[in-house]
Amino acid sequence: MPVEEFVAGWISGALGLVLGHPFDTVKLLGFFKGMSFPIASIAVVNSVLFGVYSNTLLLLTATSHQERWAQPPSYMHIFLAGCTGGFLQAYCLAPFDLIKVRLQNQTEPVAQPGSPPPQYQGPVHCAASIFREEGYRGLFRGAWALMLRDTPTMGIYFITYEGLCHQYTPEGQNPSSATVLVAGGFAGIASWVAATPLDVIKSRMQMDGLRRRVYQGVLDCMVSSVRQEGLGVFFRGVTINSARAFPVNAVTFLSYEYLLRWWG
């Protein structure tokens, strides 16, 4: 099994994250505060995504990454490989994403003197507390919603990327850096727009169970969110998600393609 894609996915995910982190942290003081945990986690997750995507395409079409611009795979194969990558990365992402959401939802930007310490003191403490209080399965709270969010939208991610690259690249050539940046940026936006409704539900499921369980499952969470807040609830955060998605995914794809060309 070719491993370059896993390594390139690892590095490119980390680079994209450095750019995206300020968007994730706009509410906090210090843009790059607390970055080591997300870097470590996105590197693992992106490596699984790109590694599985590329190897699934290899299984489906028998073309390696180097041959793919000359012999483009069908959109059906690209979509299936993207969905497979999205499905498997969701399981790796689930505990990391849970910890991120729990930490982001708990704190005041500046601790008030005399106020009680935050429930979770950092990522490791957060993971240990969830494990202690909610068990091993607690670490996978919201994982089902995350998997539903990522499986089809990672298919959309790769279809948009490959489609735009082909559109703007002469037959048989490698896409230019500008093309890769723009195609990567729009792939990020397209997949985030499609992912936002389930992203909202996923975050609610992850916060559920902290005290009293409110939702019975993904469907129940959807129905009660729409009842209380209307259909607009599904688009909450779509603008910030898209603004973040462009630079993050432009850099992720550019570094991914360049690392593979450089090694290959």
DSSP alpha helix (H) spans, 73-176: 75-104, 123-138, 143-167
Of 83, 252, 89, whose CA–CA distance to 184 is shortest?
252
Of 85, 93, 98, whose CA–CA distance to 41 is shortest?
93
Minimum CB separation of residue 156 from ligand M3L in Å reads 8
C-alpha span between 108 and 77 (Å, rounded)? 46
Which of 79, 87, 158, 192 contacts ligand M3L by CB under 6 A? 192
Select the span of 96-104, 127-135, 184-192, 207-215 touching ligand M3L (CB under 6 A).
184-192
Residue 250, interface with ligand M3L (CB under 6 A)? no
Burial of 74 per CB tally in 10 Å (0-12, 13-18, 19+): exposed
Residue 207, interface with ligand M3L (CB under 6 A)? no
C-alpha span between 25 and 35 (Å, rounded)? 10
Residue 188, interface with ligand M3L (CB under 6 A)? yes
The residue (of 91 and 131) whose beta carbon lies closer to ligand M3L is 91
Residue 203, interface with ligand M3L (CB under 6 A)? no
Burial of 124 per CB tally in 10 Å (0-12, 13-18, 19+): exposed
Residue 47, interface with ligand M3L (CB under 6 A)? no
Cβ–Cβ < 8 Å for 58, 12: no
| Residue count, binding to ligand M3L (CB under 6 A) | 14
Residue 185, interface with ligand M3L (CB under 6 A)? no
Minimum CB separation of residue 150 from ligand M3L in Å reads 5
Which of 81, 83, 165, 245 contacts ligand M3L by CB under 6 A? 245
Minimum CB separation of residue 197 from ligand M3L in Å reads 11
Could you tell me the maximum CA-CA distance found in the chain, to the nearest angstrom?
A: 66
Which of 43, 80, 195, 259 contacts ligand M3L by CB under 6 A? 195
Structure tokens at 22: 């300020």
Q: Which of residues 9-38 bind ligand M3L (CB under 6 A)?
A: 13
Residue 41, interface with ligand M3L (CB under 6 A)? no
Could you tell me how far CA 114 lies from the centroid of its own chain? 37
Of 38, 41, 147, whose CA–CA distance to 88 is shortest?
147
C-alpha span between 6 and 224 (Å, rounded)? 40
C-alpha span between 202 and 204 (Å, rounded)? 5
Which of 157, 161, 215, 253 contacts ligand M3L by CB under 6 A? 157
Minimum CB separation of residue 143 from ligand M3L in Å reads 14
DSSP string across 247-263: HHHHHHHHHHHHHHHHH
Q: Which of residues 126-155 bind ligand M3L (CB under 6 A)?
A: 149-150, 153-154
The residue (of 157 and 256) whose beta carbon lies closer to ligand M3L is 157
- Chain positions contacting ligand M3L, by CB under 6 A: 13, 46, 149-150, 153-154, 157, 188, 191-192, 195, 245, 248-249
